Amino acid sequence: MTAPAGAVGTPRVRLEGREKVTGTARYAVEYPVDRVAYAWPVQSTVVRAQINRVDADTALATAGVLSVLWYDNAPRLHDETDPDLFLLQRPEVRFRGQVVALVVAETLEAAREAAGLVRVDYDTLPHSTVLTERHPGLYKPEKVNAGYPTDTAIGDFDAGFEAAEVRVDHVYRTPAYHNNPMEPHAATAHWLDGRLLAYDSNQGSSRVAQALAKLFSLSPGAVRVIAEHVGGGFGSKGNPRCPVVLAAMAARQVDRPVRLALTRQHLFSLVGYRTPTIQRVRLGADADGRLAAFAHDAISQSSTMTEFAEQTATYGRGMYAAPHRRTTHRLARLDVPTPFWMRAPGECPGSFALESALDELAIACGVDPVELRIRNEATTDPEEGRPYSTRNLVACLREGARRFGWSERDPAVGLHRQGRWLVGTGVAGASYPARAGASTATAQANPDGSYDVAVNATDIGTGARTALWQIAADALGVAPDRVRIRIGDSDLGMAYVAGGSMGTSSWGWAVVKACGQLRDRLRAQPDGRVPDGGLRVRADTTDDLAAQAERAPYNRYAFGAHFAEVRVNVDSGEVRVGRMLGVYAVGRVVNPTTARAQFIGGMTMGISMALHEEGLLDSRFGDWVNHDLATYHIAANADIESIDAHWIDEDDPHLNPLGVKGIGEIGIVGSAAAVANAVHHATGVRVRELPVRLEKLL
């Protein structure tokens, strides 16, 4: 047919950009729905308790109130796979902020007012909400998330560490972090002739539809979940969340469509958060900084409801060479909300600890920290022994050093002043696994020469829709303006979530397959004509992924390097990040415009993590003290000065038909360490407990 159109690799603005900035893009609670009612949750004011009684009389007497749901009268749910979704079923409170009742009313205002009038009588029990390394309940989970082994050991760490000329042994701590996407979690649910239709803000409506079908005992075909536009997620929307389940329960109860939008404050207890971590890193090296021994022992938390075991220490397993190595994970189950994914769950806090420790080792050895990482480059995976499909960490470090002007750096610590500011620079490595998940896609040729391509992808603001459109055009070998792309609807067929930096590789794989099969079908048509009704194929990558897993001898990761320049005010301790640069090796880049946005977005979250963010839990009340954006500080525009991202050309044939590695998460891996390392260079103060607040520097 025609030559490839070359859409992939070309900068493109988002297809839905105009709709978004003009306010016509519809989010989950913006679809006009007749007779819609509004729900407002009542949250527990205690941490751990039995509920004796719920008194809803006053709430029910409020004008406009239609119903109040609690464990006694709520519709029964039929699946306990995710205890966080088994809502309003039992008179038990497992964390402060848990939804204990739900008010449904004609208006949002009435629902909210009446929610404040529901009286809940509790028998409270003692609680434990603070993670420490001495927590008596610490245990070894069977696996950690993403199926990784809990512990690994290669060689003899203790002997290797003991014999090392230079040793680093420190504990690093990261606090809880809250995802806070711009659009809070929200849903509209509508029952129509036994079918459930939900508009929901999520990162994967196939997963949400499956969960709803099980919870409400429906056939999979009886649930449709639409998520056409989603205002961010950062992982917190990777699982179905309470709004869609509660809205569906309420809609059944009042026999009307129901809308539920969480507030910013609700998010802090109801949609997961990044677990706090306590991490001990030990590095043993020769005087030249070559690692002989590496150990990373990580402690994190989960709730009493479910085991969420974050893979904090897996980052180091595939990163740097050392013959003797050990990694462990231990978990405490506390009376807290269940933690969940937040951008690079595991790799993000884990890389803060390891990339900080490497900086400490570089200083102890008197070796430049870029050079130290290059000296410890791994040619095969240090634990699994397998080759990398491509590994360009060194290229990223070198290219970053060149662009950043690293060679002019004076390693002396705490000596570089510009007026009342101390200036310093820091570096850190980065990596993130390159994976894909099974998905389906359809491609249709129309008699007018246009094409319709559909895949149940979710665009959480990343530019996924645009990237898939570019991919489809090239796979069809036509100009992009002949292609329409549809996403964000579970009726389009099963597809992977927008998570794990796997969106483009997963959905794009299915799109390429469907488009390729359509081209074959078109070629087989008599005189290449598209029949009147159009020609349509559906492709599923389940078998392709299984086949790849069978034959794959490779470990697949994206790599990167972060460089930061900070200045620290000598009077106030204020830290400003004047310059930040990330250089990445991520396979093929589909859309340079949105890829750059992903990278600098991740780096911005890294700066935010380094300097601002901290979930503070008051152990007396088991609740987050800071639970809005006035008190939970994040990096804002004024906190970001010069920030830039580059990528090196990388052609990796061992990934997927597109050669993409995924770009959503690597920007936050290592970037907080680069900032903290720069703070040390500026001031001589090593902050091992984030965030780097000014009082820690004075």
**Interacting residue ranges for ligand MOS, rule: CB under 6 A:** 203, 234-235, 238, 341-343, 345, 499-500
Which stretches within 525-591 are classed as H helix? 542-551
> What strands, in cross-sheet order, belong to the sheet with 575-585?
417-418, 421-433, 557-569, 575-585, 640-647
Pairing of strands 258-261, 37-43: parallel
Q: What are phi and psi of 23, to 5 degrees?
A: 80, 15
Closest distance to ligand MOS from the beta carbon of 234 (Å): 6
Nearer to ligand MOS, 65 or 605 (CB): 605
Residues 76 and 89: beta-carbon distance below 8 Å: yes
Q: Which residues of 221-243 are buried (b: 16+ CB within 10 A; e: fewer)?
A: ebbbbbbbbbbbbbbbbbbbbbb
CA distances from 494 to 221, 246, 538, 575 (A): 11, 23, 11, 46
CA 602 – CA 86 distance, rounded (Å):
33
Q: How far apart are CA 138 and CA 329, in angstroms?
A: 10
Task: Answer for the pair 416, 680: CB distance below 8 angstroms, yes or no.
Answer: no
In 3D, which of 113, 111, 35, 97 has the Cα closest to residue 68?
Answer: 111
Euclidean distance between CA atoms 333 and 327, whole angstroms: 20
Catalytic residue among 162, 310, 665, 695: 665
Cβ(269)–Cβ(43) below 8 Å: yes
Smallest distance, ligand MOS to C-beta of residue 236, A: 8
Q: Reduce the DSSP state of residue 401 to 3 states and report it.
A: helix
Q: Say how far apart CA 576 and CA 478 lie, in whole Å.
A: 48
Q: Determine whether 665 is an active site residue.
A: yes
CA proximity to 174, closest of 298, 269, 295, 266: 298
Nearest-angstrom CA–CA distance, 603 and 586: 15
Helices marked H in 433-553: 464-476, 503-524, 542-551
Place of tokens 């989950």: 28
Q: Which is nearer to ligand MOS, 341 or 624 (CB)?
A: 341
User: Closest distance between ligand MOS and the C-beta of residue 343, in Å?
Assistant: 5
Minimum gap (Å) between residue 327 Cβ and ligand MOS: 21
- Cβ(403)–Cβ(545) under 8 Å? no
The helix/strand/coil state of 68 is strand
Say which residue the tokens 């720069």 belong to: 678
481 three-class SS: helix
Peptide bond preceding 691 in cis form (omega within 30 of 0): yes
Q: Which residues pair with 153 in a beta bridge?
A: 326
| Least Cβ distance, residue 179 to ligand MOS (angstroms) | 8
Residue with tokens 């907080």: 672
| Smallest gap from residue 517 Cβ to ligand MOS (A) | 29
Least Å from the CB of residue 345 to ligand MOS: 5
In angstroms, give the least distance from the CB of 488 to ligand MOS.
Answer: 16
Measured from the CB atom, the residue of 437 and 499 that comes closer to ligand MOS is: 499
Q: Which is nearer to ligand MOS, 623 or 665 (CB)?
A: 665
Task: With beta carbons less than 8 A apart as the criterion, state whether 541 and 510 touch.
Answer: yes
Nearer to ligand MOS, 204 or 424 (CB): 204
Both tokens of 463, joined, read 């530019």
Residues 6+ apart with CB under 8 A from 496: 204, 206, 436, 437, 438, 439, 502, 503, 506, 507
Query: What are 345's two structure tokens?
Result: 């769950």
**Contact present, 198 and 212 (Cβ < 8 Å):** yes
Q: How far is the CB of 460 from ligand MOS (least distance, A)?
A: 8
Residue where the block lists tokens 């002396």? 412
Report H helices in 552-664. 592-611
Looking at the Cβ atoms of 289 and 433, the one nearer to ligand MOS is 433
Q: Which residue has the tokens 């760490």?
A: 157
Q: How many CB atoms lie within 10 A of CB 301?
A: 25
**What minimum distance in Å lies between the beta carbon of 274 and ligand MOS?**
9
Q: Which two tokens stand for residue 389?
A: 């499909």
Neighbours of 20 (CB within 10 A): 14
Q: Which is nearer to ligand MOS, 460 or 580 (CB)?
A: 460
Catalytic residue set:
665
